[in-house]
Amino acid sequence: MTEPMISFLSHKDSLIIMVDSRFGQWLKLVVSLLLLLKTQGLYVGITYVKSAVAKGAVCLDGSPPAYHWDKGFGTGINSWLIHFEGGGWCNNVTNCLSRKKTHLGSSKLMGQQIAFSGIMNNKRPFNPDFYNWNRVKIRYCDGSSFTGDVQAVNPATNLHFRGARIWLAVIEDLLPKGLKNAENALLSGCSAGGLASILHCDSFRSLLPMGTTVKCLSDAGYFINVRDVSGAPHVQTYFNEIVSLHGSAKNLPLSCTSTLKPSFCFFPQYVAPQVRTPLFILNAAYDSWQIRNILAPGNADPLGVWKSCKLDINNCSPLQLKAMQDFRLRFLIALNKATNSSSGGLYIDSCYAHCQTETQEKWFMADSPMLGKMKIAKAVGDWFYDRSPFHKIDCPYPCNPSCQNSGLAPPDNSEV
């Protein structure tokens, strides 16, 4: 019987293997960083609209509004993408005072430069239809999806509720910089910014020349009016508080407020059917923010039964999955009336995601999510340029293998 052979490496050989291993890890890290830098596009400096202060168009703390603009070039020199930043809302004075101390309430706390990626990318391989457009990101610092307008300022809090004025001030600043000559214009936004792109869609159309092709894109902005897992109308109460605090009623679409209570007109399902400008709705049917904050908010789940499920859909129990499937059905019902227009677009995937236009891996990469074999960037581009319509709803979870992160929810620091 032969004994098993054991081979020993010399200290020198072990050292070489260890160095090779470390070099390989370092090389992988360098390649990953280079790929990230390549796809990230570029960093774009901030522009403060200081002239807006005299008009009362200011952030929660009274600081001037701001945006980031990367100029268009080549065939895109007269095309404009105006993108609303997202970031939740504030629904009471305490909430807004806390927000005032962050970049979501003060332009003094905003980064001087931000990365443009996804739909904002300036490289054709990563953003095939909008890479050479004028791309503008409007910073969000009012907490009302750019709808608030209260003249009075309480000296005890020094809170300014002027979101609607910010919206107009930024557009007025951009018009003489070339927006008035726009041949194509797309108003987009993510989350609270996606809601803003619906609420301001028709007003955007009215602010531009008649000959401009104007369309709107809402990414993860289709928040629905549904009861939470405890049976309470949590989000309805929350939106009512926002509209009331910020004086938003007069800036919400009249086509909705003329027939419904103003706070209902903060919900896209009651506004979108009356929007006359072509509107593309991009949303996950299992929107991770809505699952965490509308379906199962903390106050409806005091024992934290939903905590693990909200972090990763793979951790959900059969009962929780049923609740999420029911949420999807309610979402599709709320969406139904808003999608009758032949000029509109629809991309409803079954991913557990929130905001899919701003991150490169979701917008347009080799392994980006697909619906009907179509990536988001291609569907939106084809729709905008009238190459082909796109109007698809994904099958129920977990049928779409292209959804990323295996059900992990993206980071979310804003709770309601």
User: For the segment 150-203, what is each residue's pLDDT rounded down to a tens digit?
Assistant: 999 999 999 999 999 999 999 999 999 999 999 999 999 999 999 999 999 999
Q: State how far the alpha carbon of 244 is from the alpha carbons of 51, 164, 359, in Å.
A: 28, 14, 33
Beta bridge partners of 137: 68, 83
- The pLDDT confidence band at residue 339, using thresholds 50, 70 and 90, is confident
- The pLDDT confidence band at residue 338, using thresholds 50, 70 and 90, is confident
Q: DSSP 3-state assignment of 159?
A: coil
d(CA 145, CA 137): 14
Whether the pLDDT of residue 344 is over 70: the answer is yes
Output the average pLDDT for the chain: 91
Mean pLDDT of 301-328: 97
Portion of the chain with pLDDT greater than 70, in percent: 87
Whether the pLDDT of residue 406 is over 60: the answer is no
Q: 169 or 11: which carries more pLDDT confidence?
A: 169
Amino acid symbol at 393: I
- E strands, 161-313, are 184-190, 213-219, 279-284
Which residue, chain included where needed, has tokens 């699952």? 291
- The pLDDT confidence band at residue 41, using thresholds 50, 70 and 90, is low
Write down the pTM of the prediction.
0.90
d(CA 263, CA 176): 35
Whether the pLDDT of residue 314 is over 70: the answer is yes
d(CA 355, CA 88): 12
Which residue, chain included where needed, has tokens 């995601």? 353
Q: 407 or 259: which carries more pLDDT confidence?
A: 259
Whether the pLDDT of residue 35 is over 50: the answer is yes
- Annotated catalytic residues are 191, 287, 354
- The pLDDT confidence band at residue 384, using thresholds 50, 70 and 90, is very high
